[in-house]
Amino acid sequence: MADTADLFEFVRPDGGTLPAFEAGAHVRVQVPGGPERCYSLCNDPAETHRYQIAVHRDPQSRGGSHGMHARVAVGDRLVVSTPANHFPLDEAAPHTLLIAGGIGITPLLAMAWRLHAIGASWSLHHAARSAAHCAFLDALRHSPFKQRVQLHLDDGSHEGLLDVPALIAASKPGTHIYVCGPAGLIDHVLTAGREAGWPAARLHHERFTSAPLEPGINRAFRLVLARSGLSLNVPADRSAASVVQAAGIALPTSCEQGMCGTCLTDVLDGEVDHRDECLDDADRTRCFTPCCSRALSDTLTVDL
């Protein structure tokens, strides 16, 4: 692993088979004494006996990272959901370019295992500050696909700094990019891809934290719950999810930042101000994430 992250492995208490998962999938973990959080699965999707996640030691933890590192020990029993996938891999792409920054390697490592298994054309570029901060460094060095991996460390000890525009310029026609890591890296890769004329359908990303919102842009709106028959006021300083939960309506949440899709809710009427990082354009025509998204219309009617 890395000095800044730990690997956690989950198995069934009875040693049985776990539900299958696809590359890019995540699970929700009930952190002991803390919140429920989503973590990307990083092991080979062909494995059915275990789930592996890597958790960064975040000094700004809102409870998930701290709880996993401080309260979880070998042999503990945790509640872990079945896998879900909002970052799926297009296995038919003529070439796949995986770009990871820091702990963002986790979903891309599972993709690397899958692409290797199906004999696809692909490469992985992993950027980190130093070898000590490079998650899965030893695993990558000893993997059966190590020749497809390039490390880019800021201390200059490997292949040099990551040159995203050069990678894009040298890519085969039809290449798909998958990027995960710090917001600055993701934005840089997406911008470089767009400037090179790549369509959005070939630029895939997953964020671990949502982009910060500009202050003063929230507005109050009315949220109508069609099934429950309630009409609720959502103030500018509260999320729709918190208002719904305060009214006694069951609405599961996890990341509370629009990253995981746990609170995904169907929209029946009204215009949504989408602020999530997990929905594609098709999904956004019919649903929203009430943990972070809001309404552009005065009233939003949802299927709750």
Q: Residue 8's CB: how many other CB atoms inside 10 A?
A: 19
- Spatial separation of the C-alpha atoms in residues 207 and 258, rounded to whole Å: 10
pLDDT of the residue at 209: 64
pLDDT of the residue at 215: 46
pLDDT of the residue at 163: 93
User: Exposed, middle or buried, 22 (CB in 10 Å: 0-12/13-18/19+)?
Assistant: middle
Q: What does the pLDDT look like over 21-67, one tens digit per residue?
A: 999 999 999 988 878 888 999 999 999 999 999 998 776 666 678 88
Beta-strand pair 287-288/122-128: unpaired
What lies within 8 Å, CB to CB, of 56 at 6+ separation is 4, 5, 65, 102, 103
DSSP, residue by residue, the chain: -BTTEEEEEE--TT--PPPP--TT-EEEEE-TTS-EEEEE--S-TT--S-EEEEEE--TT-SSHHHHHHHH--TT----BPPPB-SS---TT-S-EEEEEEGGGHHHHHHHHHHHHHTT--EEEEEEESSGGG-TTHHHHHTSTTGGGEEEEETTSSSS-S--HHHHHHTSPTT-EEEEES-HHHHHHHHHHHHHTT--GGGEEEE-SSPPPPPTT----EEEEETTTTEEEEE-TTS-HHHHHHHTT-----SSSSSSS-TT-EEEEES-EE---SS--HHHHTTEE-TTT-EESSSEEEE--
What mean pLDDT value characterizes the chain? Answer: 90
Percent of the chain at pLDDT > 90 equals 69
Of the candidates 168, 255, 161, the one whose C-alpha atom is nearest the C-alpha of residue 208 is 255
Region 293-302 average pLDDT: 94
Residue 158 pLDDT class (50, 70, 90 cuts): low
Region 149-177 average pLDDT: 87
- Spatial separation of the C-alpha atoms in residues 52 and 8, rounded to whole Å: 6
Q: What does the pLDDT look like over 209-237, one tens digit per residue?
A: 655 544 457 889 999 999 999 999 999 98
| Residue-range domains of the chain with CATH | 5-71 (2.40.30.10), 96-206 (3.40.50.80), 221-302 (3.10.20.30)
Residue 283 pLDDT class (50, 70, 90 cuts): confident
Q: Taking a C-beta distance cutoff of 8 angstroms, is the pair 110, 89 a contact?
A: no
Q: What does the pLDDT look like over 94-149, one tens digit per residue?
A: 999 999 998 999 999 999 999 999 999 999 999 988 888 788 999 999 999 999 99
Tokens of residue 66, six digits: 């701290």
Of the candidates 26, 28, 22, the one whose C-alpha atom is nearest the C-alpha of residue 45 is 22
Of the candidates 130, 136, 77, 131, the one whose C-alpha atom is nearest the C-alpha of residue 104 is 136
For residue 79, the number of C-alpha atoms closer than 13 Å in the C-beta half-sphere is 8
pLDDT of the residue at 95: 98
| Residue 230 CA to its chain's centroid (Å) | 32
